[in-house]
């Protein structure tokens, strides 16, 4: 066990064992939380209240989360003089399941983004973003109830790997010369250049996680979203390796869509299909009911998850998780909204729905459903925070904490 200087390990909790595919969860699991900056403390307080009430409601005291505060962002900087103390990463590694509010990206100081650093250091290679409509939430589409998708975005590769050189630098010119002289590829003078690595290792572990998720939650398909007709050796390879890993690791439990066209029945197996990225944006609008889990490379997933979130009412209610082989970190998908910090005003829905994902990951589905019921009840009663209230007729605007209490009252 690690020594903690700033955090305190709860004496009445136990460690989660196993890995993210098969977590072994005690009745009082220790779960580290990072409150977050800006509106983080507001939404965290409401989330913790809702989760504790749901667990109590579902299990009557037989189970409870042993929360452990760990520090990152401004609070860490105040206490430890560091934005991301090593012990916080140690705690996430040791206790395996954690939840966090949004963190400010420090300006200057040499850290690019705390979120990116956490993902890289812990190798959280899949970003999971479920997109489902909560009845009553204002939506720009006519049938938001047809949307029930989970976007699995690869987190470590693609043009987001950060390998790029600015226009006019010696590095960019050296790469341009190399490509011209050695590979016979011409690049226009003074171009900025970025590299798009996509590997079989990175793709297969990610698509395997998406398939395992679909199997575990009885979802009927995994769609590989790619632009392989143009970028054959990166996006096209993502598609090919995706089908390959399904055949290699899940031969009995999956079936390629092509075989359905040849007349075979799915017979309870997860259907693996693929769609070109641009058509996928049409599909999620026109035929969302045909898509369940969608596995994507990094860039496609970034675009698709926000587009899908908009269909069900926007980012204020969009949950997320970043997951690797041994650590799962659940988090709000929006930022710190500094102008609302401490005003008890914003919507805690994104962090609360991330906590629902966490409860499902722990296998505490009854508690997860209690939160869902409470949230649907609060929105149904039209007692909502300002962001929803301003789009709804006859709704009552409530504070962050009151929204949390209303959710608890409707469980």
Q: Which of 20, 77, 104, 126 binds ligand NAP (CB under 6 A)?
A: 104
- CB-nearer residue toward ligand NAP: 103 or 328: 103
- CB-nearer residue toward ligand NAP: 31 or 114: 114
* Strand boundaries in 5-74, DSSP class E: 17-18, 23-24, 30-34, 66-69
- Tokens representing 231 are 């970028």
- CB-nearer residue toward ligand NAP: 126 or 254: 126
Q: How far apart (Å, rounded) are the C-alpha atoms in residues 148 and 152?
A: 13
Side-chain-facing half-sphere of 110: CA atoms under 13 Å: 2
Q: Which range touches ligand NAP (CB under 6 A), out of 13-21, 51-59, 345-353, 354-362? A: 345-353
Q: How far apart (Å, rounded) are the C-alpha atoms in residues 74 and 321?
A: 22
**Least separation in angstroms between CB 104 and ligand NAP:** 4
Q: Which of 337, 357, 359, 383 binds ligand NAP (CB under 6 A)?
A: 337
Q: Does 102 sit near ligand NAP (CB under 6 A)? A: yes
Residues of this chain, 304-323, that bind ligand NAP according to CB under 6 A = 316
Q: Does 346 sit near ligand NAP (CB under 6 A)? A: yes
- How many distinct helices (H) and strands (E) make up the chain? 14, 17
Q: How far apart (Å, rounded) are the C-alpha atoms in residues 187 and 194?
A: 12
Q: Does 334 sit near ligand NAP (CB under 6 A)? A: yes
**Least separation in angstroms between CB 393 and ligand NAP:** 19
Q: Kindly name the residue from 37, 302, 372, 387 that is annotated as catalytic.
A: 302
> What is the contact mask toward ligand NAP in residues 109 to 148, using x (rule: CB under 6 A)?
------x---------------------------------
Q: Which range touches ligand NAP (CB under 6 A), out of 118-126, 222-230, 273-281, 346-354? A: 346-354
Q: Which range touches ligand NAP (CB under 6 A), out of 116-124, 275-283, 335-343, 375-383? A: 335-343
Residues of this chain, 209-228, that bind ligand NAP according to CB under 6 A = none
Asked about 243 being catalytic, the answer comes back as no
Q: Which of 336, 344, 354, 406 binds ligand NAP (CB under 6 A)?
A: 336
Residues of this chain, 31-60, that bind ligand NAP according to CB under 6 A = 39, 43
Q: How far apart (Å, rounded) are the C-alpha atoms in residues 39 and 81?
A: 21
**Least separation in angstroms between CB 101 and ligand NAP:** 7
Q: Kindly name the residue from 75, 96, 204, 227 that is annotated as catalytic.
A: 227
333: left (phi over 0), alpha (psi -120 to 50) or beta: alpha
Closest among 359, 375, 344, 402 to 41, alpha carbons compared = 344
Which residue(s) pair with 397 in the sheet?
384
Count of residues touching ligand NAP (by CB under 6 A)? 17
Asked about 273 being catalytic, the answer comes back as no
**Least separation in angstroms between CB 54 and ligand NAP:** 20
Give the torsion through C-alpha atoms of 305, 310, 311, 314, to 10 deg.
Answer: 110
> Could you tell me if 332 and 387 are in contact, meaning their C-beta atoms sit under 8 angstroms apart?
no
Asked about 158 being catalytic, the answer comes back as no
Q: How far apart (Å, rounded) are the C-alpha atoms in residues 18 and 396?
A: 45
> Could you tell me if 347 and 387 are in contact, meaning their C-beta atoms sit under 8 angstroms apart?
yes
Q: Kindly name the residue from 125, 160, 213, 386 that is annotated as catalytic.
A: 160
Q: Kindly name the residue from 27, 177, 232, 278 that is annotated as catalytic.
A: 278
**Least separation in angstroms between CB 43 and ligand NAP:** 6
Closest among 250, 265, 252, 157 to 211, alpha carbons compared = 250
Residues of this chain, 378-407, that bind ligand NAP according to CB under 6 A = 387
Closest among 337, 274, 347, 277 to 314, alpha carbons compared = 347
Task: Please state, in angstroms and as integers, the Cα–Cα distance from residue 184 to each residue in 39, 178, 195, following that order.
Answer: 52, 9, 17
**Alpha helices by DSSP H, 110-169:** 114-121
Q: Which of 7, 9, 41, 105 binds ligand NAP (CB under 6 A)?
A: 105
Query: Which residues lie near ligand NAP (CB under 6 A)?
Result: 39, 43, 102-105, 115, 316, 331, 334-337, 346-347, 350, 387
Positions annotated as catalytic residues are 160, 227, 278, 302
């Amino acid at each position: 066990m690690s020594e903690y200087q700033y955090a305190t390990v709860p004496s009445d909790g136990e460690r989660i064992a196993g890995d993210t595919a098969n977590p072994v969860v005690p009745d009082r699991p220790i779960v580290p939380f990072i409150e977050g900056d800006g509106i983080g403390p507001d939404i965290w307080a409401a989330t913790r209240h809702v989760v504790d009430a749901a667990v109590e409601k579902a299990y009557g005291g037989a189970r409870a989360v042993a929360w452990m505060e760990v520090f990152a962002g401004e609070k860490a900087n105040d206490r430890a003089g560091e934005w991301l103390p090593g012990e916080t990463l140690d705690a996430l590694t040791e206790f395996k399941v954690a939840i966090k509010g949004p963190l400010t990206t420090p300006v200057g100081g040499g850290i690019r983004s705390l979120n990116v650093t956490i993902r890289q250091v812990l190798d959280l290679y899949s970003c999971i973003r479920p997109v489902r409509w909560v009845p009553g939430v204002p939506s720009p589409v006519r049938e938001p109830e047809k949307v029930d998708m989970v976007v699995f975005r690869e987190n470590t590769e693609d043009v987001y790997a950060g390998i790029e050189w600015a226009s006019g630098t010696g590095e960019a010119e050296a790469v341009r010369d190399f490509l011209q002289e050695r590979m016979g590829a011409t690049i226009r003078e003074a171009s900025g250049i970025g590299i798009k690595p996509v590997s079989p290792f990175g793709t297969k572990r990610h698509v395997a996680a998406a398939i395992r998720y679909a199997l575990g939650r009885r979802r009927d398909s995994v769609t590989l979203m790619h632009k392989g007709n143009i970028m054959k050796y990166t996006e096209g390879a993502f598609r090919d390796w995706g089908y390959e890993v399904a055949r290699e690791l899940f031969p009995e439990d999956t079936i390629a869509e092509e075989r359905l066209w040849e007349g075979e029945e799915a017979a309870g197996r997860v259907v693996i299909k693929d769609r070109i990225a641009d058509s996928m944006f049409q599909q999620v609008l026109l035929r969302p009911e045909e898509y369940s889990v969608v596995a994507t490379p990094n860039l496609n997933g970034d675009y698709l998850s926000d587009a899908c979130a908009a269909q069900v009412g926007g980012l204020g209610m969009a949950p997320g998780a970043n997951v690797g082989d041994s650590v799962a970190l659940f988090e709000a998908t929006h930022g710190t909204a500094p102008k609302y910090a401490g005003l008890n005003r914003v919507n805690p829905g994104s962090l609360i729905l991330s906590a629902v994902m966490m409860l499902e990951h722990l296998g505490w589905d009854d508690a997860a459903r209690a939160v869902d019921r409470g949230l649907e009840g609060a929105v149904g009663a039209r007692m909502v925070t300002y962001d929803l209230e301003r789009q709804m007729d006859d709704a009552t605007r409530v504070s962050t904490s009151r929204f949390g209490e209303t959710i608890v009252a409707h469980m």
